[in-house]
Amino acid sequence: NNKEWQVAYSVIEQLENAGFEAVIVGGAVRDTILGRPAHDVDVATNAMPDEVKSVFNHTVDIGIQHGTVLVIDPAGSVEVTTYRTDGEYTDHRRPEEVQFVRSLKEDLQRRDFTMNAIAMRRDGSFVDFYGGRQDIEAGVIRAVGDAQKRFSEDALRMLRAVRFSAQLGFLIESETLKAMQDKANNISWIARERIKAELDKLWVGKDVYNGIRKLEESNLVNYLNGTFQAKDWYEFNTQDKLLGWAYFAVLQGEHWREVLGEYRLSNKEMAFVKAVLEALKALKNGWTNIDYFLYTEQELEAACYFAELRQLDVQMPQQSIQEIQTMLPIRHKRELIVNGTDLLKWSGKKGGPWVKEALQAMLEAVVNGELQNDQQQIKNWIEHDYFKQE
């Protein structure tokens, strides 16, 4: 995103004009070196938070205790964080406190991996004390400094290593991987929401298989909820987090609900997963037209894709889902010519759950071609077939 870069450059220039030093850091620098589009562009500076605020007319304190200020420039906004070092870690996640410093080198030293510890100046030159560019070129994820210490400080870094390996297809350097094996049990200190956020990114990676393999190799699998086996993910490549969770659920078997519950999926995410699993079951039991009403195209496609990945013995539809949908007698529930009011009128009965059930049975019969979507025919069918069999 070009605009974000321009805003960052403009903010850096203004800080420089006020006598401070400022650089671009983090993922944006890494992704630029990789030739990947970079999303959020972060700026780091030797100016103290109050000094940053004094340089700009409009700022918002978004993480002031960690030294982060959002600078609102006429052209857009960018996060500016004061160089800092981290204090003691007592919970394997967050430092007790941070100290603001004037040295860029110290700031880069607190960062997790060499590829994330490179700074870029406004003139395009790099500040790279830890061999980050070389590691990016070699496709290696390497902890900054002593890997054992770094993972012991913050256990989330191990999962970040795993998801970066899926996003970038990188290897994990051997000392770093060894440290992950040694510290894997610390992952139980990490909030489930944080773990979920990393898995969200893992599923979207271009090499999910690589990521799951790293989970296995590092023994992190032993401390995460659910089953992770790299072989199941060999051909998975959807770059879609919902599909990642749905496939993960498929692999959990009957315990899927319990396992996914541990990761705090939203209700919407859970509903999608559930629908895909049901559609997959429908596929196994034989494909019927009514499935096109119960599930969305996306859910049905996911179920078909998973059946293929798992090499399940199912009857695959011959045509595309869209093609089948256009051939159906009706394409949506609301095309049904009869509604609940008609049913109540014809039967003279009181309303109740039976109305919904009868409408569903009617829908199935129409969609499956057993009954025409015609008032009189449906009325006869309801009176002579449906109520009789009850």
Give the residue ranges of the annotated binding site for ATP: 27, 30, 111, 154, 157, 160, 163
**Residue of the chain from 9, 27, 66, 226 that contacts ligand ATP (CB under 6 A):** 27
Binding to Mg ion, residues 198-227 (CB under 5 A): none
Q: Cβ of residue 128: shortest distance to ligand ATP, in angstroms? A: 13
26 binds ligand ATP (CB under 6 A): yes
Region binding Mg ion by CB under 5 A among candidate stretches 34-42, 91-99, 206-214, 252-260: 34-42
Under the binding rule (CB under 6 A), the answer on residue 79 touching ligand ATP is: no
Q: Do strands 22-25 and 68-73 pair parallel, antiparallel, or not at all (unpaired)?
A: unpaired
Read off the amino acid at residue 245. W
111, interface contact from Mg ion, ligand ATP, none, CB < 5-8 Å by kind: ligand ATP
Q: Residues 43-69, buried b or exposed e (16+ Cβ, 10 A)?
A: bbbbbbbebbbebbeebeeeeeebbbb
Residue for token pair 């995460």: 224
84 binds ligand ATP (CB under 6 A): no
Longest pairwise C-alpha distance within the chain: 89
Closer Cβ to ligand ATP, 59 or 81, answer by number: 81
What Å distances lie between residue 114 and 83, 167, 228, 339, CA to CA? 17, 16, 27, 64
Query: Is 27 among the residues that bind Mg ion (CB under 5 A)?
Result: yes
Binding part of the chain for ligand ATP, among 151-159, 204-212, 232-240, 293-301 by CB under 6 A, reads: 151-159
Residues 38-67 that bind ligand ATP (CB under 6 A): 42
Decide if residue 131 touches Mg ion (CB under 5 A): no
Closest residue to ligand ATP, Cβ-based?
27
Cross-strand bridge partners of residue 60 = 70
Tell me the closest approach of the beta carbon of residue 69 to Mg ion, in angstroms.
17
* Binding site, annotated residues for Mg(2+): 40, 42
Does residue 116 bind ligand ATP (CB under 6 A)? yes
Q: Which long-range contacts (CB under 8 A, 24 or more apart) does 47-55 make?
A: 47/15, 47/18, 47/20, 47/22, 47/82, 48/82, 48/100, 49/82, 49/100, 51/18, 51/20, 52/15, 52/80, 52/82, 55/14, 55/15, 55/18, 55/20
154 binds, among ligand ATP, Mg ion, none (CB under 5 to 8 A by kind): ligand ATP
Residue owning tokens 């993910």: 233
Do residues 40 and 4 lie in contact, with contact meaning Cβ atoms separated by under 8 Å? Answer: yes
**Cβ-contact 209, 233 below 8 angstroms:** yes
Near ligand ATP by CB under 6 A: residue from 33, 156, 242, 363? 156
CA distance 4 to 13: 14
Binding footprint of ligand ATP on the chain (CB under 6 A): 26-27, 42, 111-112, 116-117, 154, 156-157
